[in-house]
């Protein structure tokens, strides 16, 4: 979907959501009364931002990665709300944490942000790519442009239920570049929702690097222990 069209849809969702929440005046997570923010102070205090830094690495190639926290409790709840309940406001909350990290902690100056593409099947099923939604909000908040730079080639199997080796094999060579001219010599931040084995983010980052990016950094909402 074109960035502009996506943006329009995003705004529509946002407007509807803001009407609903202004009227409801409840916390998105616990549904207790909350008039000013999307989530209440109690729920906010239970979101543990740990800024876990590590490399995603395969056969001597590595990319620096940061996950905001562990995939559990409220962070997990927000990811699932965005992904399966079309709750764009959950995405907005997550994006605000990603944006704070970019503004306060990321030392490198990023030229572009992009996202891990979803398969055609899951895009059709869900109607949007949750990583693109995060990118859109982060872009608005940080003033860094976002672009769609990759396409998922094969449908592949869903990563869920596969062991580590199979996950790497399953996702290998599954991305291809689009808009190649935008990538050359640029520092790119790749946004993903949840990292498990790291295979998806790794091959996404590798695709960008092979396509001519000068540097690729990975930023994810959460790291799953499983
Ligand atoms: Zn709450």
Per-residue pLDDT tens for 4-18? 566 556 656 665 555
pLDDT band at 91 (very low <50, low <70, confident <90, very high): very high
Is residue 41 one of the residues assigned to a domain?
Answer: no
How far does the centroid of ligand 1 lie from the alpha carbon of residue 44, in Å? 7
Residues whose Cβ atom is located within 5 A of ion ligand 1: 27, 29-30, 40, 43
Measure CA of the first residue to CA of the last residue in the chain; give whole Å: 32
Distance separating alpha carbons of residues 120 and 161, to the nearest angstrom: 20
What's the CATH number where 122 sits? Answer: 3.40.50.2020
Residue 46 CA to ligand 1 centre (angstroms): 9
Cα of 78 vs centre of ligand 1, distance in Å, is 12
The verdict on residue 176 lying in a domain is yes
CB 173, CB 203: distance < 8 Å: yes
Query: Residue 163: what pLDDT?
Result: 77
Q: What is the pLDDT of residues 16-44, one digit of tens each?
A: 555 555 445 899 999 999 999 999 999 99
21 alpha carbon, distance to own chain's centre: 23
Ligand 1 centroid from CA 223, angstroms: 23
* pLDDT value of position 18: 54
Mean pLDDT of 164-193: 89
Q: What's the gap in Å between 45 CA and the centre of ligand 1?
A: 9
135 domain-assigned: yes
Residue 172 in any domain: the answer is yes
Could you tell me the sign of the dihedral formed by the alpha carbons of 105, 109, 112, 117, in that order?
A: negative
The answer to whether residue 33 is domain-embedded is no
Q: Which is more confidently placed, 33 or 166?
A: 33
Distance 26 CA to ligand 1 centre (A): 8
Domain-located, residue 119: yes
Query: Is 132 a member of any domain?
Result: yes
Q: Which residue has the higher pLDDT, 51 or 6?
A: 51
Domain that holds residue 71: 48-223
Structure tokens at 163: 């062991």
Q: From ligand 1's centre to the CA of 93, what distance in Å?
A: 13
Looking at the 3D structure of the chain, how many domains does it have? 1
* Three-state secondary structure call for residue 148: coil
Give the torsion sign (CA, 77, 80, 85, 88). positive
Confidence band for 1, pLDDT divided at 50, 70 and 90: very low
32 is a domain residue: no
């Amino acid at each position: 979907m074109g960035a502009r069209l996506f943006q329009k849809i995003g705004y529509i969702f946002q407007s509807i959501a803001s009407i609903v929440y202004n009227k409801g005046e409840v916390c998105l997570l616990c549904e207790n009364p909350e008039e000013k923010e999307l989530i209440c102070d109690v729920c906010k205090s239970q979101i543990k931002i740990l800024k876990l830094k590590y490399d995603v690495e395969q056969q001597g190639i590595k990319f620096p990665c940061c996950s905001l926290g562990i995939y559990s409790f409220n962070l997990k709840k927000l990811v699932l709300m965005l992904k399966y309940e079309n709750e764009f406001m959950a995405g907005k909350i997550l994006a605000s944490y990603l944006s704070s990290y970019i503004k306060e902690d990321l030392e490198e100056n990023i030229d572009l942000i992009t996202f891990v593409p979803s398969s055609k099947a899951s895009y059709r099923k869900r109607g949007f790519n949750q990583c693109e939604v995060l990118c859109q909000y982060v872009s608005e908040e940080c003033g860094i442009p976002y672009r769609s730079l990759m396409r998922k080639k094969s449908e592949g199997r869903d990563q869920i239920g596969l062991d580590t080796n199979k996950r790497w094999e399953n996702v290998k060579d599954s991305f291809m570049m689009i808009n190649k001219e935008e990538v050359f010599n640029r520092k790119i931040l790749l946004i993903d929702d949840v990292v498990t084995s790291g295979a998806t983010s790794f091959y996404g980052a590798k695709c960008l690097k092979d396509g001519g990016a000068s540097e690729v950094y990975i930023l994810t909402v959460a790291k799953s222990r499983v």
